[in-house]
Structure 1
């Protein structure tokens, strides 16, 4: 089989060389060209028609976000973003994932960086996924954000909000008037998840009589930016979860990168979040299975469980256990809209899925079953 053709885009000569060397260590890939900015990348994509692209974000003349948007319009191609590990880099990466990037990898800090080996492994792993991804799905299933009727500023996509008091959920001592929780929605996702979550969370009504807890496989910093972005496009109040937060109806909580998130009873109708650094499960921390398993003892709650796009099988066994324990709703995203049909497929194969739904059908179904 001929090797997959890869285009490397970065404004640094050093980084272009380093990334090219990483990619060509795998005989299944061939770097067919390099570009130093987004404008060059767009032209080379038209000429070379690569199977996948690695794309820097900050570049002169045309940055990676603008180049990505044009490429997805004129020549849809799987793109892996090379992101800095700063908070600004994380915010821009979330935008890139919404615009159609398949995934991202944190940029290595140098040739003697201790994380260089890990970056190489991740890059090759994600390129193998990317070259098999049908990005035409992005065209057939565009992210559409409904208008937000309540008084909540929605920044332009390039102006994601910083953390403010508005984005902080108070702990128990400040929530004496909190609504009693009788239902809960739990969502697990991985590769392709930020775009899928944007679609789903932005279409859930703010008066939802249940909290929503979310595990997205993502490193630290990026989950905070994801929560802020989701908060800006949703009627729900979305935050990155913190230890001891008390769950509130109409709120959504994103597990912080690098930590497991679980839910525990804290009194009649009151539930709190626990964050831990326990060992990774199946290579994941946060783990969807660990979140789902924490809901097993909470049989007094009506539990609504969702698995969306992602590699592997995290969450499938947890969904099966919850279905057997009386979960009211189990939903798996359908193959037609998944960027990677792994986690939902695993659940379907375990025969624990009540509803297989396209991405755009998930929010209406949740509103129907939770609000009835």
Structure 2
């Protein structure tokens, strides 16, 4: 198998060497060149046609965001951004993802700690995942046909509905296409687990809130759920939903990661299953791995009337999580991203809630 050819773009000579050394420690990866800014990087992408690019956001001459826009327009290639662990860094990272970056990793404030084993493994894994993403001259449009699977679900309809969503790689972009299309009178609360570090989930919630008709916020421990509000699990916290009297409330915990994830989609889904006299809809969007599939099994075991939706392969940036969910044979609908909102609204109408 040919190695994954990577171009490293960073204005710091030290960081260029650190990232290169981290990547080439894996025999599946070859660093074919480095570049000192976006302008230099753009020229080398056109000349060398790398499989993946890693790029810093903050650079002189041409910064990462400007370079990314030119890359996506002129020579699309999977890009993994490097971001600082600051509020501004988080905002810029989400901006980069909305412009087509596949994923990102955070740079610690102490750059010397970049070379630790955990960070090395993270950047290697993200580059390998990015290499499997098929790019097009413009971000992949949400198209294709939906499929209703032969999963029989006896639905017992109740007054209250809850929507749970799980996603990972490619998720911020998918959520940016899905959440703003929901109507302001959406008659259910939405709980979202997006695999992201602390700080970035707050920026994601604020960004989605500014674009959407519904309210979007980072979840707070103990708060009561309201219809027409989406709650995003904070980075590094598991999110569960519990019944408190007649209301539903959020529980955040710092229990051990589940299969490497905190927050975990499995934890959220499993917590929703036992809730009584509530319609449940589970949605699995783009992402690497299988988080959500075990939780979906538990959810369906607790409440067979749960409806499950998986994003279709045609629109998922990474079809790992939706594919794993479909393999459980508990998914009712496979839907392209641009039809998820319509599917949710139809399901709510079926309950007489919209």
Q: Distance in 1 between matches of 2:280 and 2:109?
A: 43
Query: Which residue in 2 is equivalent to 1:279?
Result: 256
Q: Distance in 2 between matches of 1:209 and 1:343?
A: 27
Task: Count how many residue pairs are aligned between Structure 1 and Structure 2.
Answer: 335
Per-residue deviation at 1:321? 2.7
Query: Which residue in 1 is equivalent to 2:268?
Result: 291
Per-residue deviation at 1:42? 1.3
Alignment of structure 1 residues 60-75 onto 2, 5 Å: 60-75=60-75
Q: Distance in 2 between matches of 1:314 and 1:138?
A: 28
The 1:111–1:255 alpha-carbon spacing in structure 2 relative to 1, beyond 3 Å, is closer
Per-residue deviation at 1:250? 0.4
Which 5+ residue runs of structure 1 have no aligned equivalent?
144-179
Query: Which residue in 2 is equivalent to 1:93?
Result: 93
SS at match of 2:309: strand
Q: Is the 8 A contact 1:4 1:131 kept in 2?
A: yes
Q: Is the 8 A contact 2:85 2:108 kept in 1?
A: no
Per-residue deviation at 1:352? 0.5
Q: Distance in 2 between matches of 1:250 and 1:107?
A: 35
The 1:279–1:138 alpha-carbon spacing in structure 2 relative to 1, beyond 3 Å, is farther
1:267 pairs with 2:245: yes
Query: Which residue in 2 is equivalent to 1:36?
Result: 36
1:237 pairs with 2:215: yes
Q: Is the 8 A contact 1:264 1:273 kept in 2?
A: yes
TM-score, length-scaled by structure 1: 0.86
Q: Distance in 2 between matches of 1:126 and 1:114?
A: 15
Which of structures 1 and 2 has the larger relative contact order (alpha carbons within 8 angstroms, sep 6+)?
A: 2
Which 5+ residue runs of structure 2 have no aligned equivalent?
144-157
TM-score, length-scaled by structure 2: 0.91
Q: Is the 8 A contact 1:220 1:258 kept in 2?
A: yes
Q: Distance in 1 between matches of 2:340 and 2:258?
A: 26
Per-residue deviation at 1:23? 1.1
Query: Which residue in 1 is equivalent to 2:57?
Result: 57
Query: Which residue in 2 is equivalent to 1:176?
Result: none
Q: Distance in 1 between matches of 2:257 and 2:116?
A: 21
Q: Distance in 2 between matches of 1:253 and 1:105?
A: 23
Q: Distance in 1 between matches of 2:65 and 2:202?
A: 20
SS at match of 2:14: helix
Q: Distance in 2 between matches of 1:142 and 1:14?
A: 40
Q: Is the 8 A contact 2:239 2:253 kept in 1?
A: yes
Per-residue deviation at 1:36? 1.2
Query: Which residue in 1 is equivalent to 2:150?
Result: none
SS at match of 2:249: strand
Q: Distance in 2 between matches of 1:137 and 1:208?
A: 34
Which residue among 325, 336, 345 is the counterpart of 2:314?
336
Q: Distance in 2 between matches of 1:236 and 1:252?
A: 7
What is the root-mean-square deviation of aligned Cα atoms in Å?
1.8
Q: Is the 8 A contact 1:188 1:215 kept in 2?
A: yes
SS at match of 1:242: coil
SS at match of 1:253: strand
How far does the alpha carbon of each residue in 1:190-236 deviate from its partner, in whole angstroms, 9 at most, with x for none?
Answer: 11110011111111111011000000011100111111111111111
SS at match of 1:337: coil
Query: Which residue in 2 is equivalent to 1:170?
Result: none
SS at match of 2:319: coil
The 1:267–1:126 alpha-carbon spacing in structure 2 relative to 1, beyond 3 Å, is same
More deviation, 27-36/321-330: 321-330
The 1:114–1:81 alpha-carbon spacing in structure 2 relative to 1, beyond 3 Å, is closer
Q: Distance in 1 between matches of 2:89 and 2:202?
A: 12
The 1:181–1:225 alpha-carbon spacing in structure 2 relative to 1, beyond 3 Å, is farther
SS at match of 1:202: helix
Query: Which residue in 2 is equivalent to 1:165?
Result: none
Moved over 6 A (4+): none
1:301 pairs with 2:278: yes
